[in-house]
Chain A
């Protein structure tokens, strides 16, 4: 069960990914391809048996939707896809539940390891953590995650760039541990 097998169900996978993570629907083809490549990488890390089950589940998902909605899963509107996946997630059959769980996990892991995504949600660990970011004991903030001075209150700089800080470890390649923010897509 290879990479090509996953590609054979890519329309279903794309539709499922857009259901699990609404922001994915806003990506252009190139940006989605970046995420899709990461899903494929995660797929290839699975055992052959799990890979077989992933492809089988996506194939079944496409056609089970025909029975319920009269259209394949990948042709359904977001609302129908959401209701359908939610119903499968509550199935009495553990194989069905774990099928949803397995696809969902791959999509979420691929999405939430994208540097642009982690940057967008405000996750910004730094090698020199405390040197750069002392706790704000009583932050004066609005609820949209910005402090009164306009900087994200988690300590990243106000200009929106990742806080590089002094990466004093011995890695010449260490620009920033997480947020190298290629901005290749805006989640």
Chain B
């Protein structure tokens, strides 16, 4: 096995890993050796084609087909240079003060996160899309929600030079999205941080990570890997894990060191989501412009958040309930479709957790609780009210049976839409917010402290959404970045102390 030695190794290059890499750039400038290992490839700008088939395969784990152990919820997360910041819509919000307070993490104050978030909102050019660039799909959400009595807010989004391709979830073809692949990682690399792609962390050993570097497959997107294919033992004084909730948790679980870390894998949440569509009489602009501009935050009042959204046909098709002629008719109304995403603010339970299979691959055990199905039903009623208040002719909502609601049904949504119709295995439920598995908190109930230090193992850190002790209750990437910012700060402080323990 090849042997390499660094001062700090970061596993993963998304919102967590990219942020830590940038925060350790001063160390790199001082001559310390910082390495980022990323499982996926480094896509070149011309490889963002916007085509669903090849982009899904290139960007998402299992081509977007990763599902929970009981196959009832699809879980989307990206594996490439920049991680899921490449494919998210860039909605840039920090978890609320109430959420962070409810996490009860000793030493973690929302005011500290809020202060740090300003840096990332500025760095990532987060701003409100101007009214002239808001498409009809988003505008109808805002107008309908206000008419239905909801308080509507606009998302700041991290785009610069957005040309309105609407292809955010397939990776911006114009390089407008300010993910870590555009902002933090290039800055870190300019300062001397080394990034190695196509490099999977196989296991964590004592102050070392075993990494398997693979060759690009024929026809596979991405630049050639930076290291020769093969296995490497990379020794370091500090190891930071930032491979996402599933990736980091699975990496630890398949490593012998996991025996020293109780509570790994527990406390998984994912904001289970429904995608709903409604048909208007006339065509609307929906496949041009930023896809996600507005939201209704009912996390506290109803346990859900509604967001305007727009997805390509293959996502919409699988999100609709049923099949056959009715399904096809709805799909052929695509230019007239308004879309809303609803996610439930789930809470940790004893059974929802991340494990690994015999091959060490992540397995997500997740069951909808009655509270979550009630929240999804309530969210569906709210979405239906918004659709009809916006003038929709009919709506397709999976929490109704049959799922098609006509305008005349608007007066009896409470009876048509019911939690009993949210049926795993029939209702298409998805998630793109994987959280928990290596939660922050006190040693007797959590994996790390409030600075991402693994309890009892001072050289091992976690810096991604697996840190969340419970759901973020809003799109999580900014919260991941500010937590990673803290991890970076702690590493800068601790690397000198741990310097006495030289890498062997």
Contact = CB atoms under 8 A, between A and B. Distances in A.
A50 B66 CA distance: 11
Interface string A109-153: 101110001101111111111111101100101010101000011
Contacts of B287: 123-125, 154
A20 interface: yes
B165 A98 contact: no
- Chain A: number of interface residues, binned into ranges: 35 or more
Given A139-B282, A139-B284, 11 more contacts: A20-B327, A21-B328, A22-B324, A89-B322, A112-B316, A113-B314, A129-B288, A153-B335, A154-B285, A169-B46, A177-B49
B257 to A, nearest CB: 26
A125 B324 contact: no
Contacts of B289: 129-130, 135
Nearest to A172: B46
Interface in B173-207: 173-175
B339 to A, nearest CB: 12
Interface stretch (A1-9, A38-46, A68-76): A38-46
Interface of B: 45-53, 57, 62-63, 65, 67, 70-72, 133, 135-136, 163-167, 173-175, 281-289, 312-314, 316-318, 322-325, 327-328, 331-336, 361, 423-426, 428
A95 B69 CA distance: 12
Interface string A24-61: 00000000000000100010011100100000000000
B373 to A, nearest CB: 14
A70 B360 CA distance: 45
B282 A38 contact: no
Contacts of A121: 313, 331-332, 334-335
A171 B45 CA distance: 7
Contacts of B57: 45
A95 to B, nearest CB: 8
Contacts of A139: 282-284
Contact of B50 (A50, A104, A177): A177
B46 A170 contact: yes
6 contacts: A97-B424, A108-B323, A131-B163, A145-B333, A177-B51, A178-B52
A89 to B, nearest CB: 6
